């Protein structure tokens, strides 16, 4: 029978320490639909530091100039965690990764090379010997810069075990201090993955000189189970992401790993250093910035994770909360539903927002407080999600000198018997400009009207609409990508109770971002 473990934290030192390597800003940002601005990446990195992760994988510096700059700033900003930059096993990648992380108090270069025959033959068209040689060269170069080097044989779970052992041994011999075993395509089953870790411990003679890490993808929904099985077999670093974001179906979810290891500490004889009460604020921040909502019934951080509906459960809970609760919301920093509304002042708003990870200046705070009051006048309850949305909208607003286009007036005509048309009056570089447009729907008409008065090169590339709270009075959250015509996409987001206004504000915000560096006057 499984014993009910006590909630009390046992003395640190009794349990094996499992390092949490957070890759939200690298693998997580590779999630379809998840893009983060530079500022959002920095805020997330600071929040991860509060969460007390051991390692932040801040990005893939060679991938783009934006990635490079974000990794470099994160390296210079956070002090407690190790900051890792990812690099393929190529000289230019390792050099760039080092350039990005060198200012970190604790820098790490994470280099990787595929090890499975299917990757080597079909994708890279190189032999195993060549892959081995490239891996050794990359680790050697990384080691010449930095003591802390991680090596990953990509697609490890579909690699012939003997070759995997050989690659891991060579990486450690060359100086890798962490060897990460990725289940890149989420193919492994828990017992099988556990056996692979045990086999690595048995068959890699120098394994004691490195930390064994695991990096599991969730294609079959087993990323957390596989990671935990690996911990049982001796892995002491787990790579994971907030809300389980990541390529395709995502990576192992940080909050599930942390709460399993906390709740079943005796079973695993292991613990992490995660500050549990920062779990929920981190989850909210990442969901809000990426625009990827947390599934309601998601373990630990989902809206329903602590909601008890059945009468028999509620009855038991009243008698003793442990009857049906193995964790409670306070542990993960989830407060009971917030009650900010018409009567809430600036101080309460500031406190609530700071708990959610927002840092607002005085002007932004006033704007958020005013918007919450406005919403409370229209909507019965102002939910936590509404507050997060409003705050993120306000903190993303451009400085006024960068707002070259301002919306003055907007009229929409639509119906089942007329072609939707939009009439806009914009103030462009201080001068009023009017335009009309029609389209298949009101949002399309609006976009066409605005498009008629901005340079043709600048165009709307993506449009996403999400209702933040349920109901017909829900706040609409619109996220757009606007191209500046030179290959750069600018993200913008706006929140409003009116879908059309949220769309107009998001378009204009995106246009202002795209125009921010162009000096040419637009208004004739
Ligand atoms: O999934 C994977 O294999 C990766 C590597 C770069 C570690 O993300
Ligand atoms: Zn991955």
241 is a domain residue: yes
- Which 8-state DSSP code applies to residue 2? P
Question: What was the pLDDT predicted at 8?
Answer: 43
Question: What was the pLDDT predicted at 204?
Answer: 98
Question: What was the pLDDT predicted at 458?
Answer: 78
SS (H, E, C) 267-327: HHCEECCCCHHHHHHHHHHHHHHHCCCCCCCCCCCCCCCCCCCCHHHHHHHHHCHHHCCCC
Question: What's the 172 CA to ligand 1 centre distance in angstroms?
Answer: 18
Question: What was the pLDDT predicted at 103?
Answer: 98
- Cα angle vertex 111, ends 108, 113, to 5°? 165
Per-residue pLDDT of the chain (524 residues; tens, 9 = 90+): 555 554 444 445 689 999 999 999 999 998 888 889 999 999 999 999 999 999 999 999 999 999 999 999 999 999 999 999 999 999 999 999 999 999 999 999 999 999 999 999 999 999 999 999 999 999 999 999 999 999 999 999 999 999 999 999 999 999 999 999 999 999 999 999 999 999 999 999 999 999 999 999 999 999 999 999 999 999 999 999 999 999 999 999 999 999 999 999 999 999 999 999 999 999 999 998 888 989 999 999 998 888 765 667 666 766 777 887 889 899 999 865 456 677 777 777 787 777 766 778 888 888 888 888 888 887 656 766 677 778 877 876 555 556 788 889 999 999 989 999 999 999 888 888 999 999 999 999 999 998 888 876 778 888 888 765 556 666 787 888 888 777 677 777 777 878 899 899 888 888 887 776 554 445 44
Query: What is the secondary structure of 219-261 as a DSSP string?
Result: TTS-HHHHHHHHHHTT--EEEEBGGG--STT-B-BHHHHHHHH
Residues spanned by the domain of 382? 307-395
Nearest CA residue ID for atom 8, ligand 1:
27
Q: Which ligand lies nearest the alpha carbon of 246?
A: 2
C-alpha of 249 from chain center: 14
154, 270: one domain: yes
Question: What's the 30 CA to ligand 2 centre distance in angstroms?
Answer: 9
9 is a domain residue: no
Q: What is the per-residue pLDDT across 270-286, written as a single tens digit (0 to 9) for each?
A: 999 999 999 999 999 99
153, 214, 217: residue to mutate for ligand 1 pocket, most atoms within 8 A of CB = 217
The string over 366-397, giving b where at least 16 C-beta atoms fall within 10 Å of a residue's C-beta and e elsewhere, is ebbbebbbebbeebeebbbbbbbbbbbbbbbb
Structure pTM? Answer: 0.70
Of 290, 316, 336, the domain-final residue: 290
Question: What's the 248 CA to ligand 1 centre distance in angstroms?
Answer: 12
- Which 8-state DSSP code applies to residue 217? B
Report the CATH number that the domain containing residue 233 is assigned in CATH.
Answer: 3.20.20.70
60, 193: one domain: yes
Q: Report whether 242 contacts 286 (CB < 8 A).
A: yes
Residue 112: CB within 6 Å of ligand 1? yes
Question: What was the pLDDT predicted at 482?
Answer: 83
238, 380: one domain: no
Residue 27: CB within 6 Å of ligand 1? yes
Residue 154: CB within 6 Å of ligand 1? yes
Nearest CA residue ID for atom 6, ligand 1:
112
Q: CA–CA distance from 25 to each of 22, 244, 448 (Å)?
A: 8, 12, 35
Question: What was the pLDDT predicted at 472?
Answer: 66
Question: What's the 490 CA to ligand 1 centre distance in angstroms?
Answer: 27
Beta partners for residue 479, in sequence order: 464, 493
Per the structure block, which two tokens stand in for 140?
């050697």
Question: What was the pLDDT predicted at 475?
Answer: 73
Number of H helices, E strands in the chain: 17, 16
105, 240: one domain: yes
65, 193: one domain: yes
CB pairs under 8 A, 24+ apart, for 256-265?
A: 256/224, 256/299, 256/300, 257/20, 257/224, 257/227, 257/228, 258/20, 259/299, 259/300, 259/327, 259/332, 260/224, 260/228, 261/18, 261/228, 261/231, 263/5, 263/326, 263/327, 264/5, 265/5, 265/10, 265/15
Residue 85: CB within 6 Å of ligand 1? no
C-alpha of 4 from chain center: 33
How buried is residue 279: exposed, middle or buried, by Cβ count under 10 Å (0-12/13-18/19+)? buried
Question: What was the pLDDT predicted at 430?
Answer: 84
Of 263, 290, 317, the domain-final residue: 290
Question: What's the 40 CA to ligand 1 centre distance in angstroms?
Answer: 23
Question: What was the pLDDT predicted at 32?
Answer: 81
Identify which of 256, 259, 231, 265 has the alpha carbon closest to the alpha carbon of residue 9.
265
298 is a domain residue: no
C-alpha of 77 from chain center: 18
Question: What was the pLDDT predicted at 521?
Answer: 46
Nearest CA residue ID for atom 4, ligand 1:
184
- The structural domain count of the chain equals 3
Q: Which ligand lies nearest the alpha carbon of 87?
A: 1
Identify which of 113, 63, 50, 127 has the alpha carbon closest to the alpha carbon of residue 93.
63
Question: What was the pLDDT predicted at 518?
Answer: 53
Report the CATH number that the domain containing residue 505 is assigned in CATH.
Answer: 3.30.160.270
């Amino acid at each position: 029978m499984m014993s009910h473990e006590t909630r009390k934290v046992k003395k640190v030192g009794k349990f094996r320490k499992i390092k949490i390597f957070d890759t939200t800003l690298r693998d997580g940002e590779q999630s379809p639909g998840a893009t983060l601005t530079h500022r959002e990446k920095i805020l997330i990195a600071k929040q991860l530091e509060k969460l007390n992760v051991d390692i932040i994988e801040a990005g893939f510096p060679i991938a783009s100039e934006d990635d490079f700059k974000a990794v470099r700033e994160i390296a210079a900003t956070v002090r407690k965690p190790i900051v890792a930059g990812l690099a393929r096993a190529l000289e230019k990648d390792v050099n760039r990764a080092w350039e990005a992380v060198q200012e970190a108090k604790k820098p790490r270069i994470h280099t990787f090379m595929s090890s499975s025959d299917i990757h080597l033959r079909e994708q890279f068209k190189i032999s195993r010997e060549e892959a081995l040689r490239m891996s050794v060269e990359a680790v050697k170069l990384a080691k010449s810069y930095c003591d802390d080097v991680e090596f990953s044989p990509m697609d490890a779970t579909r690699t012939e075990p003997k070759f995997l052992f050989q690659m891991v041994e060579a990486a450690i011999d060359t100086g890798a201090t962490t060897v990460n075993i990725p289940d890149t395509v989420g193919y492994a089953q828990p017992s099988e993955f556990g056996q692979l870790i045990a086999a690595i411990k048995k068959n890699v003679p120098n394994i004691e000189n490195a930390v064994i890490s695991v990096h599991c993808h969730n294609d079959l929904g087993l990323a957390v189970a596989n990671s935990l099985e690996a911990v049982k077999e001796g892995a002491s670093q787990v790579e994971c992401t907030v809300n389980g974001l990541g390529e395709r179906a995502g990576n192992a979810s940080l909050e599930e790993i942390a709460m399993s290891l906390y709740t079943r500490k005796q079973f695993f004889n292991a613990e992490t250093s995660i500050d549990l009460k920062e779990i929920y604020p981190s989850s909210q921040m990442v969901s809000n910035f990426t625009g990827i909502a947390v599934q309601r019934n998601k373990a630990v951080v989902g809206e329903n994770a602590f909601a008890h509906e059945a009468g028999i459960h509620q009855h038991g809970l009243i008698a003793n909360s442990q009857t049906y609760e193995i964790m409670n919301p306070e542990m993960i920093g989830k407060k009971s539903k917030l009650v900010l509304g018409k009567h809430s002042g600036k101080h309460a708003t500031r406190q609530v927002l700071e708990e959610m990870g927002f840092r607002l200046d005085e002007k932004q705070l006033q704007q958020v407080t005013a918007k919450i009051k406005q919403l409370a006048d229209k909507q019965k309850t102002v939910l936590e999600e509404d507050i997060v949305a409003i705050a993120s909208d306000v903190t993303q607003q451009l400085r006024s000198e960068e707002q070259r286009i301002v919306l003055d007036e907007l009229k929409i005509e639509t119906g089942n018997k007329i072609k939707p048309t939009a009439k806009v009056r914009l103030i462009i570089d201080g001068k009023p400009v009017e335009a009309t447009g029609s389209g298949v729907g009101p949002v399309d008409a609006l976009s066409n009207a605005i498009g008629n008065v901005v340079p043709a090169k600048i165009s709307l590339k993506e449009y996403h609409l999400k209702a933040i709270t349920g109901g017909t009075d829900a706040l609409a959250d619109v996220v757009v990508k606007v191209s500046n015509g030179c290959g750069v996409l600018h993200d913008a987001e706006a929140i409003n109770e009116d879908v059309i206004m949220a769309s107009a504000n998001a378009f204009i915000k995106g246009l202002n971002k795209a125009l921010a560096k162009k000096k040419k006057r637009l208004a004739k």
